[in-house]
Amino acid sequence: MQTLKFKTNIKCAACIATVTPFLNSVGDLKKWEVDTMSSDKLLSAEGVSESLSSQVVDALAKAGYKAELV
């Protein structure tokens, strides 16, 4: 299992509610959370796939958000 961190533009609980179905649809993503209190709005994502990073970025893009691996 690997844990990845992404800088995002997810700012609030409403944003989290918007991205939830998109991130939950990523089969290789086992657990995720967003720290909206951090200046970088860090998304922590745990999963098992080598392509997890691109899957998370793609899922957020479909939801209308940006993510950059840090």
Integer Cα distance of 36 and 27 in angstroms: 24
pLDDT number for residue 32 = 97
List Cα–Cα distances, 15 to 21, 41, 50, in angstroms. 11, 11, 27
Integer Cα distance of 70 and 51 in angstroms: 15
User: pLDDT-based confidence at 9, cuts 50/70/90?
Assistant: very high
pLDDT number for residue 65 = 98
12-57 per-position pLDDT tens digit: 999 999 999 999 999 999 999 999 999 999 999 999 888 999 999 9
Q: Mind listing the domains of the chain with CATH numbers?
A: 2-69 (3.30.70.100)
pLDDT number for residue 66 = 97
pLDDT number for residue 1 = 86
pLDDT number for residue 49 = 86
